[in-house]
Amino acid sequence: VVDSLTGSRLGVFLVSAQAPSSKDPHTEEWDAFYAALATAISRKQPGDVLVLGASANAAVGTSSTREREAAAREARQEAAVARLVAKYGDDARVELEPPEPSGPSLDLAATLDSQPTNFPPLPSAPTRCVGPFGIDYISPSGRRLLGFMDTHELASLATFYPKKHYATWIDPRSSNGHMNDHILISRVDLTRFSDCGSRPCMLFESDHHLVGCKLRVTELGAGEAAEV
């Protein structure tokens, strides 16, 4: 296939992953899983598009979920500082504040003005590993997956597309839907895709729904854009 954006040949690097089923994501089994996953994606050749299908046993929420959790963490930290200051005085605040940077100060505006301007623009890419859509819940294993995605600049593709349904697995006891299965891609490749989401059909001999995506490509010799 040919890259519909650049016209050059395009390789697709496919990875399939099955996460452990244990609820505690900080065990040796989970450590081994993420170590193997990091090794697998490191084998992708430069320029290829990564498509990582993961039965991750992890709910990563949405961008609004992460923003709320970050705000909650900041509020807890401010409350903890206030309690320490109330107990020990302003000396406690001085101890908790980060030290001033040493060395000469950097005038960022002057530094940017002095840089050459004849370099090509950087491609735009999402800075978040999850988009605004999905199920608004982050599980403990989801927090670990989010850390892995942040480290390797990955994104959960389905969270960037509005859908009627996002659940990939239904808890048989509570009947609640969970978005535990993901297609992960490199953030820089987000614009190469046109759709992603869970499908109504179930996987073979599984209680999980299939997750699919559409990649914009051009067939060799055809010259017409297509989606696969």
Specify the pLDDT at position 223.
Answer: 54
Distance from CA of residue 215 to its chain's centroid?
18
Specify the pLDDT at position 113.
Answer: 41
- Whether residue 180 is predicted with pLDDT greater than 80 in this model: the reply is yes
Average pLDDT over residues 36-51: 94
Specify the pLDDT at position 70.
Answer: 74
Q: What mean pLDDT, rounded, does the chain reach?
A: 79
Choice between 106 and 12, residue whose per-residue pLDDT is larger: 12
- Whether residue 178 is predicted with pLDDT greater than 90 in this model: the reply is no
Enumerate the H helices of 125-220 as residue ranges: 140-151
Specify the pLDDT at position 118.
Answer: 42
Asked if residue 93 lies in contact with residue 77, where contact means CB atoms within 8 angstroms, the answer is: no
For residue 93, the one-letter residue type is: R
- Whether residue 38 is predicted with pLDDT greater than 90 in this model: the reply is yes
Specify the pLDDT at position 106.
Answer: 42
> What token pair was written down for 170?
């239904």
- Residue length of the chain: 228
Confidence of residue 115 (pLDDT cuts 50, 70, 90): very low
d(C-alpha 80, C-alpha 69), whole Å: 16
Asked if residue 185 lies in contact with residue 193, where contact means CB atoms within 8 angstroms, the answer is: yes
Choice between 83 and 163, residue whose per-residue pLDDT is larger: 163
